[in-house]
Amino acid sequence: MSGEISLFRVSSFLVVLCLAASPARAATYHVSQEGHDANSCAAAQSTSPSSQKLTIAAGVACLVAGDTLLIHAGTYTGRGDVIDTELFTVRSGTSFSNAITVAGAPGETVILQPPYNQSGIRLVTGQPHHLIFRNFTIDLVNSTPGTDAAGIYLRTAHHIRFESLEVMHSQSFGVLFSTNTPNNEMVNCRIHDNGYEAGPHTNGHGVYISSSNNLFEGNQVYNNYGYGFHVYNNSGSHADTSNNVIRGNDIHHNGRPGSTAYGIVFAWGGGNVAQDNLIHENNGGIQVYSKASSTGVYQNTIFHNRDEGIALQYYSEGNTIIGNSLTSNGESIMDYGGESAAIVESNVVQ
């Protein structure tokens, strides 16, 4: 009998251990314009709008790795309706399979219109990582010419993924990845109508990248007053702007009148790639510039740009321009000289 009791106790103990070792189940929280921030995080898991959180910041504060915040339909304009590590708590995921996700609710239209000179997403302290943002619009319509807030601004954040976002009406940059901000992804987003007509030629870019190992794929980048993609870091060792991939994007109608803005510029870094993009109706197509090395420009379709389809100048070694199709540009491929001859071959010029 005592043996049976001991066996029962051991079995029960093992069951308790297994239950204790099981990971917590990921939770889904909700933000609604019918909600209240006084509602608890537990209540905000309800599908009843009145039980949910009211502001995005309050919803984000509930999240830990693996959790999702769904933002329901509406235009969010308050100070608490941004994701900003300098203002509110933003925790990190542990991997993209155990990330924190902030998303517009499926099938619903969600617009963030931040207050004056405030970014929609600003991750600049605490080195946040493994966050996913999906399916909403960031519209900086409340900021006036001369303000410097980017629609999305990352600094020292890493492994951040942006999917199916729309970013528009920043008077500075649509998206800014600052230095020491590697391994991020922007996929199937629309970045447009950033900058302003009388603004300086050094801003108004759709996407400004001063970091490394980022992926930009399937995006539409258009109607920005500066460059479409500006991959550049003119500080320190310049090494941050390396190994970025710009692939399969539609990049068009960028560059204010009279500027030299291209659809894409690569400068200072090494190992950057532009591949399979449509690049058209910009001031220029692709520029390989200042000390850029081992840049790959492959299989892009480049047409109806005012100046050069592809321009090379002041570049370093190892750059390759192969297999591109160029039609009806001001000039097709212009090599103005660099430190070591670029490989330019198998391009089709019409």
In this predicted structure, the answer to whether residue 67 has a pLDDT above a threshold of 90 is yes
Residue identified by tokens 């550049």 is 232
Domain at 173-350: CATH code: 2.160.20.10
Tens digits of residue pLDDT in 10-42 = 444 444 433 344 456 799 999 999 999 999 999
Tens digits of residue pLDDT in 171-189 = 999 999 999 999 999 999 9
What Å distances lie between residue 43 and 27, 30, 47, 63, 339, CA to CA?
A: 12, 9, 9, 14, 63
Cβ atoms 203, 179 nearer than 8 A: no
What Å distances lie between residue 340 and 32, 290, 295, CA to CA?
A: 58, 12, 13
In this predicted structure, the answer to whether residue 7 has a pLDDT above a threshold of 60 is no
Domain limits, CATH 2.160.20.10, in the chain = 173-350
3-state secondary structure 274-319: EECCEEECCCEEEEECCCCECCEEECCEEECCCCEEEEECCCCCCC
What average pLDDT does range 72-98 have in this prediction?
A: 97
In sequence order, which ranges of the chain are alpha helices (DSSP H)?
Answer: 2-21, 56-60
Stated pTM of the model: 0.92
Q: Using CA atoms, how far apart are residues 24 and 16, in angstroms rounded to an integer?
A: 15
What Å distances lie between residue 263 and 90, 237, 296, 310, CA to CA?
A: 33, 25, 15, 10
62-71, 230-239, 293-302, 328-337: range with lowest mean pLDDT: 230-239
Q: What per-residue confidence (pLDDT) applies to 24?
A: 61
Q: What per-residue confidence (pLDDT) applies to 235?
A: 76
